[in-house]
């Protein structure tokens, strides 16, 4: 029997529409996962943007926050 673990996700777009932040929390973990996606940016060449449209590379950065550090972020 497969155990189903729920997660909560929240996506927030940058005002410039070039980046996206995803917050993710799993029901059975205390950590919060923060992922920054960079896409459709002027910093990328035309070919890099074209490749990302067809499932190519999208630049990401993952940050795992402890419950304590996430609460610091919330209070800020």
> What is the domain partition of the chain in residue ranges?
8-70
CA distance 53 to 69: 34
Give the pLDDT confidence of 1-51 residue by residue, as tens digits: 677 779 999 998 888 777 788 999 999 999 999 998 876 555 666 676 666
Using only C-alpha atoms, the chain has a radius of gyration, in whole angstroms, of: 15
The token duo for 27 is: 């029901």
**pTM, whole model, 2 decimals?**
0.62
């Amino acid at each position: 029997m497969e155990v189903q673990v729920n997660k909560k996700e929240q996506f927030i777009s940058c005002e410039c529409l070039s980046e996206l932040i995803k917050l993710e929390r799993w029901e059975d973990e205390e950590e919060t996962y923060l992922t920054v996606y960079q896409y459709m940016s002027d910093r990328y060449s035309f070919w890099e943007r074209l490749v990302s449209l067809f499932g190519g590379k999208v630049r990401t950065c993952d940050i795992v926050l402890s419950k304590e550090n996430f609460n610091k972020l919330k209070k800020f």
